[in-house]
Amino acid sequence: NAGVTQTPKFRILKIGQSMTLQCTQDMNHNYMYWYRQDPGMGLKLIYYSVGAGITDKGEVPNGYNVSRSTTEDFPLRLELAAPSQTSVYFCASSYVEPAVYEQYFGPGTRLTVT
């Protein structure tokens, strides 16, 4: 199993550009999540999904959109990129049972907006 894969690994965007961060998991997990990680700030939840067709906002959803058309894929869309979106983005997935607190993380995408 590849686990959780993310593409691209690195990206530089200009202010106002848009892009999609891709996330795929092959563990048949129901739950998927997008986090951003800023230095000294921990991981902040952007959006999450409890199954195909179901998504919900996390703590910091402004400026982002998601969709979940399949169990495996959970892309994150950035519209009109801003410097405040410079961050490292992690996708994660988890089972419902037995250990719902165990999330499996991808390797991350480092995004710079200039």
Partner 1 sequence: QQQVKQSPQSLIVQKGGISIINCAYENTAFDYFPWYQQFPGKGPALLIAIRPDVSEKKEGRFTISFNKSAKQFSLHIMDSQPGDSATYFCAAIEETSGSRLTFGEGTQLTVNP
What residue ranges bind partner 1 (CB under 8 A)? Answer: 4, 31, 40-45, 48, 50, 56, 58, 90, 92, 94, 96, 99-108
Least CB distance from residue 43 to partner 1, whole Å? Answer: 5
Least CB distance from residue 55 to partner 1, whole Å? Answer: 11
Measured from the CB atom, is 14 or 62 closer to partner 1?
Answer: 62
Residue among 97, 86, 92, 96 nearest 108 (CA): 92
